[in-house]
Amino acid sequence: MKIFSGSNCKMLTHKLLEECNLPDESISELKIDKFSDGELLPQFTKSIRHEDVYLVQTSSSSDSIMEILLVADASKRSGCKSFNLISPYMGYARQDKTDHIRSSIGSKMLADIFEKVGISSLLTIDLHSSSIQGFYNIPVIHLNGNVIFIDYLKKLNFENLCIVAPDQGGIKKSIDLAKSFPDSTFAMINKKRIKPNEVHSMELLGDVKDKNVIIIDDIADTLGTIKKASSLIMDKGAESVRAIATHGVLSGKALENLSDSNLTELIVSDSIEGVNKINHPKLRVISSSRLISKTLIALNQKKSIHEINKI
């Protein structure tokens, strides 16, 4: 097993190599050169013939996707045994169906392209919709992002904990987290969205009075919805409100919204490397490296990953 880093996951790859007891020299064994016009040229500096190659790279931008495709092609042409993509955050996962007239299904298109270039398997965390796994005809290892945050949350020793689903789609994820907190209660936000990143109205279903609330979601993007939700929850008498999101996209006015929100803190994973560079008093980053490394070790030893992925 050889683990390499794409251009946007170097910090996470360092941690993975350390936890898998592998030398971190592979970080430098994959060079991504860039021409002045932006054209990418990946090159392996050492042989990878007959190796199981793993590339750690998010697929959140056009450049990162192109990089994955070129590295996959270089790997296959260099005689690797298999090429496996570790994409902690899968871009275009919000395009899993045609919600809008004459729109694309970006996640299906991405699956077709990845398969065509010869990717052997995909490892990812918290797809926006689990049905996306059905777009692939290769093994998809879909890790449970809740596992990343359990240890940290337990150290907080919450009393009167209430776990809140941000919408109907988040109910399953919220109930899964509640397994680790059997004394917690549950509530849900019912929201009406008129266009992407903009919520028209919302209402809280359930009692949060005097509760320490955790809103659980998969993606934290502009944080406009989280800002409104935290205000609504505090107005209903909550003691405190935190939010957990596996993927800290944090685009647009996200940091401004975070500062202006009633959140005590926003807790995200490092599935998107940019969050490690943000210095904000309300932002806490928990590494996904332990979950991924335990999965890789189990796969390499041909063991089941069921227990690793369970709350």
Give tens-digit pLDDT for 104-149.
999 999 999 999 999 999 999 999 988 999 999 999 999 999 999 9
Q: What is the mean pLDDT of residues 93-100?
A: 85
pLDDT of residue 197: 56
For residue 85, pLDDT beyond 90: yes
What's the CA gap between 124 and 310, in Å, rounded?
A: 15
* pLDDT bracket for residue 17 (50, 70, 90): very high
For residue 189, which phi and psi values (nearest 5 degrees)? -100, 125
Least confident of 67-81, 86-100, 140-154, 275-289: 86-100
Instruction: Please check whether the two domains, 2-144+290-300 and 146-287, share a CATH topology.
Output: yes
> In the chain, where does DSSP find H-type helix?
10-19, 62-77, 106-117, 146-155, 171-178, 224-235, 254-260, 289-300
- Give the three-class secondary structure for 165: strand
SS3 call for 188:
strand
What is the rounded distance in angstroms from the CA atom of residue 192 to the CA atom of residue 6?
Answer: 38
pLDDT at position 194 is 62
Range list of H helices, 168-271: 171-178, 224-235, 254-260
Going by their DSSP bridges, the two strands 185-195 and 198-205 should be labelled as antiparallel
Q: What is the DSSP letter of 31?
A: E
- Cβ(55)–Cβ(4) under 8 Å? yes
- At the top level of CATH, the class of 146-287 is alpha beta
Q: H helices of 184-247, where? A: 224-235
Question: What are the domain boundaries of the chain?
Answer: 2-144+290-300, 146-287
List, for residues 214-273, the tens digit of each pLDDT value. Answer: 999 999 999 999 999 999 999 999 999 999 999 999 999 999 999 999 999 999 999 999
**Residue 143 phi, psi dihedral angles, 5° rounding:** -85, 150
pLDDT over 80 at 199, yes or no: no
CATH number of 2-144+290-300: 3.40.50.2020
Q: What percent of the chain has pLDDT over 70?
A: 97
Give the model's pLDDT for residue 28. 87
Q: Which of 76, 108, 191, 282 is catalytic?
A: 191
Q: Is 191 a catalytic residue?
A: yes
Residue 196 has pLDDT above 70, yes or no: no
The tokens describing 300, both together, are 């390499």
Q: How far is the C-alpha of 265 from the C-alpha of 213, rounded, in Å?
A: 11
pLDDT of residue 23: 86
